[in-house]
Every structure is written in C-alpha cells, then in structure tokens.
Structure 1
C-alpha cells in the first residue's frame, strides 16, 4: 500500500466527516461531495458560515464548531486562500485527515502542508473522493 493510499484509508476510517464548500447550489462540487457522504450513510456535517442547513443537515459555522473535530475527516472544496485558513484551523484542532478536492490548492497551500508536516494528514493533487471514494471503501471491507 502506498503512502497516499494509507492516508486515504485513514481519512475514510474516521467516525465522522465534514464538508467545507457545500452550498444550496445542487450543481456545485461541494454539494455533490456532501451528498456522496449522505448517500453512503456516513455521519457528515456541512460547514457553512451563513446557511443553517444544507441537504437537510444542520450546519456548523466553522471547523471549531464540530462536535468532535479530532474524530472528523474534512473534505475541502474551497478556493486556495480559504483552504490555507482551514488548514491552520485543522492543525490547531488536531483534525486527523483532510481531502483537498481538485482546485482547492496551489503552490502556497502545498508549501503550507509541507512546512507544517501535514503530509500524513492531507490528501491533495489527485482525483476527488467522488472518483476514488467507493473503491477505497470497498478495499477496506
């Protein structure tokens, strides 16, 4: 098993999940990722600063509002400048794993991950959970 595969398994083995970047727009990737978790019966919380609920799920305003952040894997679908702030917050909260979906990171984000020794907690640079998630879940059975 490769290093990245192990991080993905760690990500999907968490008891809770959160999605940052979902919205009321059904066509947006963040909402599609949120639905992916919901459709698989995962305990998922949308993180949104203004919406009280998304996809019939109550939201929290920030990662620090998650009930058990240290047991929550976080899917990130945000612009790179927002992603940096989320990574800082995630590090402070001891969030075990984050999956940065395509388009959420740039050189600054990657440098932050490396400079803060977060390579063993952050998935980036590859396909999104919508492409790989089911295969990973199946391999964990």
Structure 2
C-alpha cells in the first residue's frame, strides 16, 4: 500500500539523493541539499551538468549513485520527473519527496501504480519536525 503525504515516515530516513541539487547558493536545490547535509544525513547530489557542490561529488543520475538511498527529493520541473521515477522503480527505491512545483498528476499516478511512497505539496525544509530537518544556511 502506498503511503501518501506521510511526513513522519520520511523523517526516519538517513540516506537521501537530491535530484536537482544545485551549486548555486540561491537555488532551492542547494538549500535542500545543504539542509540535509547539515542534519548529518548521507546525501547524494544529483544534477545533469554540475560536477561538485561544496566539495561533494555530484552524480548525473540516480543510477550512478554509489549506494541506494532510502528516499529521493525531487527539485526539478514536473516534465523531468517521470524518467527519475522510472529509474527509482528499476533500483527499487520506494520513497520520493516532490518539492513544491516538481509534482504533476502524471507523476503522482505513477507513484500510486508503482508502489512508491510520496510526499507532495510540502516543502522538506518547512513541513517537517525542526529537530529533524530545519537548518539555517
């Protein structure tokens, strides 16, 4: 059974990939990445073009990660999410957080049909317990 918008479940994960991580400090891809790193989680930045973010190696896609994360945060346009979700199924990753603006009806339906737990229409930096995620950049 798919868990929809179960933020409490996502607060337990310690290994994350941030798809859409950015080396640009003003971008949410940077802020979310740094928030998770700052809380002590294992975090893999994913970006198609960047090579490094603050000394962290950046991966071009989730298939190239050195290990399977427990959850993925998407900070990409909605028309780019479906290929990532398809890769998640291939890699047996079953948890995704859609940062506001990255979700689409098609992506949500894909999650439901493929047993992917998801959070949508919630910001990972604002809508979870402060002791777990909030961190000033």
Q: Secondary structure at the match of 2:103?
A: coil
| CA separation of 1:54 and 1:39: change in aligned 2, threshold 3 A | same
CA deviations 1:33-89 (Å, max 9, x no partner) are 0011111111111011221111321111111112221x4311110111111111111
- C-alpha distance in 2, partners of 1:87/1:20? 11
Determine if the alignment matches structure 1 residue 33 to structure 2 residue 29: no
Larger RCO (CA under 8 A, 6+ residues apart) = 2
Q: Contact (CA 8 Å) 1:99, 1:122: kept in 2 or not?
A: yes
CA deviations 1:103-134 (Å, max 9, x no partner) are 0012222222223232xx2111x321110233
Deviating runs (4+, > 4 A) in structure 1? none
Q: In structure 1, list runs of 5 or more residues that go unmatched.
A: none
Q: Secondary structure at the match of 1:19?
A: strand
Aligned counterpart, 2:91 = 93
| CA separation of 1:12 and 1:66: change in aligned 2, threshold 3 A | farther
Q: In structure 2, list runs of 5 or more residues that go unmatched.
A: none
Q: Contact (CA 8 Å) 1:52, 1:60: kept in 2 or not?
A: yes
- C-alpha distance in 1, partners of 2:18/2:119? 14
Q: Tell me the number of residue pairs that the alignment of Structure 1 and Structure 2 aligns.
A: 131
Structure 1 position 136, deviation (Å):
7.2
- C-alpha distance in 2, partners of 1:27/1:108? 29
Aligned counterpart, 2:7 = 8
Q: Contact (CA 8 Å) 2:81, 2:102: kept in 1 or not?
A: yes
Aligned counterpart, 1:49 = 48
| CA separation of 1:103 and 1:64: change in aligned 2, threshold 3 A | same
TM-score, length basis structure 1: 0.81
